[in-house]
Amino acid sequence: MVNVLVNLFSRIGAPLTRGIVKLGFACRFFIAILRHSPVSLVRFRLTMREIWFAGVLSVLIIVVSGLFVGMVLALQGYETLVRFGASSSLGVLVALSLVRELGPVVGALLFASRAGSAITAEIGLMKATEQLAAMEMMAVNPVARVVAPRFWGGVISMPLLAAMFSAMGIFGGYLIGVQLLGLDEGSFWSQMQAAVDFRLDVMNGVIKSAFFGVAVSLIAVFEGYDAPPTAEGVSGATTRTVVTSALVILALDFVLTAFMFRGV
């Protein structure tokens, strides 16, 4: 009996311990990034290159996906609303869904798979080819020089990308609702504007995407830095970045939503 318990504990214990150790390392790493951040903010050009890498290169996928998501939302929403004679609320439906949820969440998921995985691969390869060790031997701290700029580049890019996603989605909704289905343009926009609150809906969406930006960027740089310095190690880390990011984004979204829209 005792043996069975011991066996069980050691079975669960090992991965659990490993997970906790990893989480602890990630926390320590986060603090190290913050401590070494002044360099990336003072020498902003370093961060600039990472905004280009994480942000600019993600614009295309974000904009195109946003447009399609908005168009689908409008088509589906119209089908439902028209049964209740409420088709003039289509703009409200599209805008609220995008600004509150889909913009930040889907934007972050796309960001994680486009930019997060690229950041992990880049840092992981730098580690595997001893570039980070070389930097250390040149008395340059890789966390300050390589990791922190990538982290901040991601953190800065994410809210902008999420806003672009929402804006494009609403535009897509407008194309379908007004141009294709022939809703009245004036009431489409004015109802939307009356129902969407800047502080409660738009700003909370931006705050959400800022949280997601921190989470995804941290996971991406951490997985890259922690990757085993081999080809399989790096490819495994890239996958882990996307999977972990997706889970964390959705869990975090639940917590933030419960917190922000409680009692409304």
Partner 1 sequence: MTFVMSAPLVEFRNVSFAYEEEIVLRDVSLTVARGQVVAIMGGSGSGKTTLLKLIGGQIRPDSGEVLVDGENVGNLGERDLYRLRRKLGMLFQFGALFTDLSVFDNVAFPLRERTNLPESMIRDLVLMKLQAVGLRGAARLMPAELSGGMARRVALARAIALDPRVMLYDEPFTGLDPISLATTGKLIRELNDALGTASIVVTHDVAESLALVDYIYFLADGVVVAQGSPDEVRASEHPFVRQFINAEPDGPVPFHKPAAPYAADLGLEAANG
Partner 2 sequence: MKRGMIDFWVGLFAVAGAAALLFLALKVSSQSTLAVNQSYELVANFDNIGGLKVRAPIKSAGVVVGRVNAIELDPQRYVARVHMAMDARYQYSRDSSAEILTSGLLGEQYIGITPGADDKMLKSGDTFKITSSAIVLEQLISRFLFSKAEGGNKDSTEAGK
Residues that bind partner 1 (CB under 8 A): 125-126, 129-131, 133-141, 145
| Residues from 159 through 218 that contact partner 2 (CB under 8 A) | 159-161, 163-164, 166-168, 170, 189, 192-194, 196-202, 206
Instruction: Tell me which of partner 1, partner 2, none is bound by residue 133, counting a contact when its beta carbon lies within the kind-specific cut-off of 5 to 8 angstroms.
Output: partner 1
| Residues in binding contact with partner 2, number by CB under 8 A | 34
- Residue 5 or 138 with smaller CB distance to partner 1: 138
- What's the burial of 144, exposed, middle or buried (CB within 10 Å: 0-12/13-18/19+)? buried
56: left (phi over 0), alpha (psi -120 to 50) or beta: alpha
Measured from the Cβ of residue 140, the count of other Cβ atoms closer than 10 Å reads 13
Among residues 93, 97, 95, 66, the alpha carbon closest in space to that of 79 is found at 93
Instruction: Tell me which of partner 2, partner 1, none is bound by residue 43, counting a contact when its beta carbon lies within the kind-specific cut-off of 5 to 8 angstroms.
Output: none
Shortest spacing between CB 163 and partner 2, in angstroms: 4
Shortest spacing between CB 139 and partner 1, in angstroms: 4
b/e per residue, 50-84, with b = 16+ CB within 10 A? bbebbbeebeebbbebbbebbbebbbebbeebeee
Q: What is the distance between the alpha carbons of residues 128 and 116, in angstroms, rounded to a whole number?
A: 18
- Residue 56 or 231 with smaller CB distance to partner 2: 56
Shortest spacing between CB 164 and partner 2, in angstroms: 4
By the rule CB under 8 A, 257 interacts with partner 2: no
Shortest spacing between CB 228 and partner 2, in angstroms: 29
By the rule CB under 8 A, 260 interacts with partner 2: no
Q: What is the distance between the alpha carbons of residues 32 and 55, in angstroms, rounded to a whole number?
A: 23
- For the chain, the straight-line distance linking the first and the last C-alpha, in angstroms and rounded, comes to 52
Instruction: Tell me which of partner 1, partner 2, none is bound by residue 136, counting a contact when its beta carbon lies within the kind-specific cut-off of 5 to 8 angstroms.
Output: partner 1
Shortest spacing between CB 115 and partner 2, in angstroms: 12
Among residues 219, 177, 194, 223, the alpha carbon closest in space to that of 82 is found at 177
Shortest spacing between CB 160 and partner 1, in angstroms: 23
Residues shown for the chain: 264
Q: Which residues bind partner 2 (CB under 8 A)?
A: 45, 48-49, 51-52, 55-56, 59, 95, 99, 157, 159-161, 163-164, 166-168, 170, 189, 192-194, 196-202, 206, 263-264
